[in-house]
Every structure is written in structure tokens, then in C-alpha cells.
Structure 1
Amino acid sequence: MQQWESWSAFWDMGGAAFYVWGSYGLAFALIALELVLVFQRRKDTTRRLLRWRRAVGKDAGKRNGEGTMPAMESET
């Protein structure tokens, strides 16, 4: 483990600060972008599933004349 003589030397990283901190910054930005996209896809998927569930529910009501799915034989 290298000992730095000061905080400015640590932040300078022996002349490689641009590459080191740039790599950390890029990684952080990409992780943040991925999180935003994941939450956006989750929201869109939830919206699509709710829309599909409503459509299936309306279709089921047309099939048996009520607002519910027909009972299975074992339930009657």
C-alpha cells in the first residue's frame, strides 16, 4: 500500500489522476444510467401488465356473461 505525503498527492495519483478519476466517474455514470433504465423498464412493464390484466378481465366477462372467470369443475 502506497503512503501519500498529502491529500493533493493522493488526488493527483502520481500524474494518473485523469485516468483514475475519469474511470471512476465513467463507471458511476454508467451504473446510474443502468439504474434509471431498469426503473423505467419496470414501470413500463408494470403498466403493460396492468393493461393486459384489464383486457383479459373484460374478455373473460364476455365469455361467461358475468364479470368473473368460469369456475373450474372441481370448484362447483
Structure 2
Amino acid sequence: MSQFLDMGGYAFYVWTSYAVFAVVLLADYLAPVLRRRRNLRDVRARMARQGARRRNENA
């Protein structure tokens, strides 16, 4: 098991590449999710502003 984890002396490079791959994969998954949340929040705020403006015009 120790030899497998050591990777023939290249363990640092191999495990670092796996870690970088995992971080990129996680970022690639989370970016659209976070962007969607931000866009929905912006649309809700814009709709609230428009509704307030219409109420003020009708009052």
C-alpha cells in the first residue's frame, strides 16, 4: 500500500494533480449554481423595484 501511495517517487506531483482536478471539477459544478442564484436575486430585486415604481405612479 505504501508503494502505491508513493507512486514511485512521483507522489507529490500525482496527488497534487488529483487535488487540482478535484478543485477544478468542484468549481465547474458550483459556478453555474452560484450564477443562477445571483441572477434570480437580481431579477427579484428588479421586479420589486418595478412594482414599487408602478405603485408610486398609481398613487
TM-score by length of 1: 0.59
> Greater helix share, 1 or 2?
2
Greater CA deviation, 46-55 or 31-40? 31-40
Q: Distance in 2 between matches of 1:60 and 1:44?
A: 24
Percent identical across equivalent pairs?
19
2:22 maps to what in 1?
A: 29
The letter for the 1-side match of 2:44 is R
Structure 1 residue 54: deviation in Å?
A: 1.0
Would you say how many aligned residue pairs link Structure 1 and Structure 2? 53
Residue 40 (structure 1) aligned with residue 33 (structure 2): yes
Q: Distance in 2 between matches of 1:34 and 1:16?
A: 29
The letter for the 1-side match of 2:27 is E
Structure 1 residue 29: deviation in Å?
A: 0.4
**Alignment RMSD (CA, Å):** 1.9
